[in-house]
Amino acid sequence: MQKKTHIKKGDLVKVLAGEDRSKQGRVLDVDRDRMRAVVEGLNINKKHTKPTTATPQGGIVEKEGPIHLSNLMLIDAKTGTPGRVGRKANKEGVLERYVKTKKKAAK
């Protein structure tokens, strides 16, 4: 069963936990079954490949690994600040995502 996610392909996100904490990147792919996303340039894994006819040299290939969605936070495209994701109905009644940013309380 696939679940709803607050992150979609193409979103700009900030990593909240792990080795790449506080880094930003664009989402390349979302696996909704495993609740993980692949972020461009983050969580790099090295894989050693044997020589084949296609790659006669072989070698080490670096590839992005998946990050759990709970460790990602959406970044607002307009302001550039990270925040939680909310949904509002627009004039046509279609739900649209928006970023809930922290507002300072007036004294």
CA 73 to chain centre: 8
Tell me what the mean pLDDT of segment 90-94 comes to: 92
* Sign of the Cα pseudo-torsion (103, 20, 71, 3, in order): positive
Residue type for 32, please?
R
Question: What does the pLDDT read at residue 2?
Answer: 72
C-alpha–C-alpha distance, residues 18 and 102, integer Å: 23
pTM exceeds cut of 0.85? no
Residue 105: pLDDT over 80? no
Domain boundaries, given as residue ranges, for the chain: 12-78
Is the separation of the CB atoms in 73 and 40 below 8 Å? no
44-76 pLDDT, tens digit each: 999 999 999 988 998 999 999 999 999 999 998
Q: Provide the percentage of residues in the chain whose pLDDT is more than 90.
A: 67
Is the CATH code 2.60.40.420 the one for domain 12-78? Answer: no
Q: Of 77, 96, 78, 76, which is closest to residue 86 (Cα–Cα)? A: 96
